[in-house]
Every structure is written in C-alpha cells, then in structure tokens.
Amino acid sequence: MKLSIPELQSAEKPLVMVTAYDYPGGKHAEAAGVDMILVGDSLGNVVLGYDSTAPVTLADMIHHGRAVRRGAPNTFLVVDMPFGTYHTGVTDAMRNAVKIIQETGADAVKMEGATTEILQVVDNLTRNGIPVVGHVGLMPQTATAQGGLRAQGKDDESARLTLDGAVALERAGAFSVVLEAIPARLAKLITERLTVPTIGIGAGVGCDGQVLVTHDLLGIYEGEQKKIAKRYAELGRQAREAIAQYAAEVRSREFPTRENSFVMKDDVLDKLY
C-alpha cells in the first residue's frame, strides 16, 4: 500500500528508499516492501554509462520514471529533476516538474541544492501542490564546483552551509531532505533540527531513513567500491558467469535442448521435403 506524505513523515523510522530505473527494478523494490523509490539521476552513471549525472535529460528521467511506475504502482515514487531543468527560473522549473509528475505518475520530485534561487523554486512548487524532496551535502550535479565527488560538511563553513541549507529547504516546503556524504554527527544534528524526515546516503545511522543506489547494492554497477554504499549481492559477476555459460553451451550445441524446441508432425515435414 502506497504511503502518503503524512504517513511517511509519521512512520516508524528508519524509512527505506532505493533507486530504480526500469520496470523490473520498480517491481523488485515494491515486492521487497521499500517505503519509497527514487528514480535518481544516478541513472546517468549506473545505467547510461556517463561519467557524471550532468548529461541526463528531462526526457531520460521521464522515459525511465514511467517504466519504474509501471513496475511499482503502489509505492511512493520520487523522480529526480535533472541538471539544468530547475536552474533557469521558477517558471521553467514548474513546467518541468509538472511534466515529470504528469508523464511518469511520480508522487514527488527531488532537486539538489539550497541556494536562494533553488529555495524559490521549492517554495513555488510546493505552494502549487508539487511535493519536493530536497538534497544537500554532496550534490553530484554540481560536484565539480564542490571540489569533486567528496564528502561535504567537514569544516566550519561547509558544515554551517549544509545545516542552514537543510533548515531552509524545510522552511521552503520540502517534505523530506536527502543528506549525501556528510559526517554522521552533522547528519544527526540536522535530523534533530528538522521536523521533516532526513534520508541519508553516506550520512550515518542517525538519519530518519536511508537510500542506496540499487545498482551499487546489487553489485550490478562495479566501479570502485563506494564508501557510502554496501553491496548485498554480486549480480554483475553472476550475470557475466551466466552469459559465459550460455555462450559455451551454444558453441558446444548443448543449448537449445529438446525442451527448448517446438515439435511438428512427421507428415507436415515430409510434405516439405
């Protein structure tokens, strides 16, 4: 049963969120009973093979978001607004968020940052009935400006910026805030300061919920092991082994067998001969 925003906010914590990018991903996540699914723009890295999330387009997010929704009709679905779709003003952001909601069936959108401009966007969207999840700490869309894909909030200035950003996002109307790659004690402090749930990734155990990129969790995306992720399966290795076994059986004519083949009556075949 899909949880509503008040139910998510008052649910017994910790909340569980995973990313999904396609129909089977949505189906598995829903069957596993997660509280929320995120169609993350990590799509760019783990599915589309880009080396950052910057090239991901609105059309990409909508295409994948729709597939996830078909697989997970009864789970709260959040779709990331990709880079550039909420940075050119409140009107553009509204138009793009409406497109995501209408065309994917998502329940909410997520966006990174807490600058004055982004807070205006969050305020405008939420006043107009589009639920928003905020995102502070490491923000992959603008990681170059943050000094690379590295933990944030470790020094005075960065810790203050992260805390203030999270508080401002709640004030602007975000119903939940993702905290990515920040010290666990800072995430705990933010969680205590906010009334809306924090969802951590690489932010320690003190958050109200956790999110992981499914392709990291399942071992499908096998880049360098990330500190912020834990691998619960080795599906990448299993996939390679299974495909290699299939290839060997095709070459040795072990596959297909009679069980994989269709039969026909002798007289039908005789006529052809």
Question: CB–CB of 69/26 below 8 Å?
Answer: yes
Contact map string, positions 165 to 184, toward ligand KIV, x by CB under 6 A: -------------x-x----
- Any contact of residue 211 with ligand KIV (CB under 6 A)? yes
- Any contact of residue 35 with ligand KIV (CB under 6 A)? no
Torsion of CA 199, 202, 206, 209, to 10 degrees: 30
Question: CB–CB of 206/219 below 8 Å?
Answer: no
**210 to each of 9, 56, 202, 203, 237, how far by Cα in Å?**
14, 24, 9, 9, 26
Catalytic residue among 103, 180, 224, 241: 180
Q: Which range, of 33-41, 100-108, 157-165, 239-247, touches ligand KIV by CB under 6 A? A: 33-41
Beta bridge partners of 179: 136, 200
Read off the amino acid at residue 15. Answer: L
Query: Buried b / exposed e across 93-116, counting CB within 10 Å, b at 16+?
Result: bbebbebbbebbbbbbbbbbbbee
216 is in an annotated binding site: no
- Looking at the Cβ atoms of 40 and 113, the one nearer to ligand KIV is 40
Question: What are 189-196's contacts with CB under 8 Å, separation 24+?
Answer: 189/163, 190/162, 190/163, 190/166, 193/163, 193/166, 193/167, 194/166, 194/167, 194/170, 195/170, 196/9, 196/170
- Any contact of residue 19 with ligand KIV (CB under 6 A)? yes
How do strand 36-39 and strand 176-180 relate by DSSP bridges? unpaired
Return the residue matching tokens 């923000």: 139
Q: Which of residues 57-76 bind ligand KIV (CB under 6 A)?
A: none
Q: Which range, of 39-47, 115-123, 142-150, 181-189, touches ligand KIV by CB under 6 A? A: 39-47
Q: Which of residues 76-135 bind ligand KIV (CB under 6 A)?
A: 80
Read off the amino acid at residue 1. Answer: M
Count of chain residues binding ligand KIV (CB under 6 A): 11
To the query of whether residue 180 is one of the catalytic residues in this protein, the response is yes
The SS3 of residue 260 is: helix
- Looking at the Cβ atoms of 200 and 258, the one nearer to ligand KIV is 200
- Looking at the Cβ atoms of 53 and 91, the one nearer to ligand KIV is 53
- Any contact of residue 30 with ligand KIV (CB under 6 A)? no
Q: Which range, of 4-12, 25-33, 40-48, 255-263, touches ligand KIV by CB under 6 A? A: 40-48
- Any contact of residue 216 with ligand KIV (CB under 6 A)? no
The CB-of-181 to ligand KIV minimum distance in angstroms stands at 9
Catalytic residues: 180
* Binding-site annotation: residue ranges: 41-42, 80, 110, 112
Q: Residue numbers of the site for ligand KIV (CB under 6 A)? A: 19, 38, 40-42, 80, 178, 180, 201, 211, 213
